[in-house]
Amino acid sequence: MPNKQVRKVVFPVAGMGTRFLPASKAVPKEMLPVVDKPVIQYAVEEAKRAGIEQFIFVTGRGKHVIEDHFDHAYELESLLSEREKTDELRSLLEDLPKTGSVSFTRQQQPLGLGHAVWCARHFIGNEPFAVILPDDLVKAEPGVLSQMIAAYAKTGGNLVAVQDVPRERTKSYGIIAPGATRGDLTEVMGLVEKPKPAVAPSTLAIVGRYILQPELFDELERQKPGSGREIQLTDSMAKLIGRQPFHAVRFKGDRYDCGDKVGFLLANVALALDRPDLAPAFRQGLAALLKN
């Protein structure tokens, strides 16, 4: 039984976003809107709904607009107030995280996801924490992190969210070697980063949600570069297997990879079709387009 609540989340957002060029040249890909909200805001809302209290962003060069997005915008707020746009103003203010609940640190060189998480170590200290990769936008009720925190109450230790992928896609993901399975929970016996389909231990791929124990930071400290010559989170997590409980959760929900152009476009379509204010006109326009 875990004796510590998960109160903190890390958002590693220092990646260069090369798959999304030229859009990501001057604008962080996390700030691209899905319908009318930046990708990063979906991740923050998911964490808030899961009861997270501290939000730690690991940013890099050119990512400062993410900081501005989670801060007051006084001119805009007073303009909305003067023009009596009360709904817009209320919604902007509701979106703001509580004062003092947000921290930013920088990964000075993009040395890999594992290195980005390690950059947050002083904000985490000696307690379990969550990691969300905002690129993985998941339409789910309850949110994926809420589903994982419910599972964590039973398992403790480390948890990753997984999804079945076609075997030819294993080389794009961290893949688990599964052990005993009970319902949506599978014991993790091994982890491999981006294995070729022929040698992948399963087709269960990690998507961007983790609950991790602070001992991971000692492993990250020693971690040598792996796949893609980057310091891989998967390689350090693998070293905790056998020492601490380690499980995978098959979450319920639809996942869109917003770091990829097609995934991003699909997320926009799926979420727009869910919006009562937009769906009727959008559905009509889409149907006309698909006829051609």
Instruction: Write out the residues near ligand UTP by the rule CB under 6 A.
Output: 12-20, 58, 107, 110-113, 115-116, 133, 135, 259
Q: The tokens of 181 are what?
A: 């399975």
Q: Report how far residue 160's alpha carbon sits from residue 251's, in angstroms, rounded to the nearest whole number.
A: 10
Least distance between ligand UTP and beta carbon 132 (Å)? 9
Distance CA 132, CA 79 (A): 34
Q: Are 196 and 171 in contact (CB under 8 A)?
A: yes
State the minimum distance, in angstroms, from the CB of residue 108 to ligand UTP: 10
Q: Identify the CA nearest to 181 among candidates 199, 206, 146, 155.
A: 155
Question: Based on CB atoms, which residue is closest to ligand UTP, 110 or 156?
Answer: 110
Nearer to ligand UTP among residue 117 and residue 249 (C-beta): 117
Considering the complex, what minimum distance in angstroms separates the CB of residue 161 from ligand UTP? 14
Q: Count the neighbouring beta carbons within 10 Å of the beta carbon of residue 156.
A: 17
Least Cβ distance, residue 91 to ligand UTP (angstroms): 26
Minimum distance of ligand UTP from residue 177's CB (angstroms): 22
Nearer to ligand UTP, 13 or 80 (CB): 13
- The CA-atom distances, in angstroms, between 202 and each of 107, 113, 181, 196, 237 are 32, 22, 13, 11, 17
β-sheet bridge partners, residue 139: 254
Site of tokens 């859009």: 23
Nearer to ligand UTP by C-beta: 98 or 196? 196
CA 25 to chain centroid? 21
Residue (231 or 272) nearer to ligand UTP, CB: 231
